[in-house]
Structure 1
Amino acid sequence: MGAWSHEPFGNDTACDWAAELEESTGFVVIEQALDQVIADKNEDFIDADDGSIAHAAAEVLAQITGQGTQDLDFLDGVVQWIDQLDARPPTALIQKAIIVIDILTQENSELDELWQDSDDYEEWTQNLNELKAILKNAS
């Protein structure tokens, strides 16, 4: 999994996705990340990389609302992207992120399975719950 932390950007996959986000405008890349997990769910298998990216995308939405669960100072490009954004996330996108967070802990989630096999499963699920609460307050 290439993870060093339970936090949204605590893995290689999410940090690689950050570069894609930095080159984008608007919310398209975030929505694509969330939509991929929904598509995976429809195929009855949620890929771990897709889940990691969606977790990071949800964190970016939370950061845009002025809150978040992780200090992103080590991701200068993401911080700059957020600072330059001149719009709030659409409510429908925030609601989609909340749905996706719930999907990440379902039985057919490879990411959930990998975290269950680690010592940090409780911290990871707590992070997801905190993120979901932030997004619910923002929607």
Structure 2
Amino acid sequence: MGKWGYKPFENDTAADFSGDLDEAPESERLELLRAGLSAVAESAGHVDAGRAEVAIAAAAVVARDLPGGEQFQSAVCGPTQVIPHVSSDFVTLAARAVDRLLEGDNDLSDDWSGEVEGECWSGSLRSLGRVLSGEQVDSPEKLW
């Protein structure tokens, strides 16, 4: 797993997913988001790191227009092309994917639990979940 930070787009898999979104025709971008989110939100059992990283990046894209969602965007590795407006069912699906990663068995939780920035990663994921669920989110500086 190539990672350089704990934020949603600070790993190779998420950066590749952003590239896939940018390269896809605009009409197919929502389906890519849905597939990335569903792979985690609707899964049972262990979630591998790749699916988890894509789901977190997709959730961050879904959160981009929500209050507080700007803190999860990346001008460097995030998608740069237009993403069509997402409906409320995408927000619900993204929140389920994030909850699944916070509560379920997955490689990322295992990997980050031994890292110095592990609490930053889990704090960022909890904050993303709060944004997706419509809760008031403090400024990022207060989260970690």
The TM-score with structure 2 as length reference comes to 0.81
Q: Find the counterpart in structure 2 of residue 70 from structure 1.
A: 72
Q: Structure 1 stretches (4+) deviating beyond 2 angstroms?
A: 23-26, 64-71, 79-82
Looking at structure 1, the residues matched to 75 and 53 of structure 2 have their Cα atoms a distance apart, in angstroms, of 19
Q: What is the percent sequence identity of the aligned residues?
A: 26
Within-5 A mapping of 1:17-96: 17-24=17-24, 25=26, 26-39=29-42, 41-42=43-44, 44-65=45-66, 67-75=69-77, 78-82=79-83, 85=84, 87=85, 89-96=86-93
Unmatched runs of 5 consecutive residues or more in structure 2:
136-144
Q: Deviations over 1:44-91 (max 9, x none)?
A: 110111000100000011113363323421137x13324xx3x2x111
2:122 corresponds, among 113, 121, 125, to 125
- Aligned residue among 102, 107, 117 for 1:105: 102
TM-score, L = length of structure 1: 0.84
Amino acid at match of 2:30: F
Give me the CA root mean square deviation.
1.9
Which blocks of at least 5 consecutive residues in structure 1 are unaligned? none
Kept in 1, the 8 Å contact 2:8–2:53? The answer is yes
Structure 1 letter corresponding to 2:35: Q
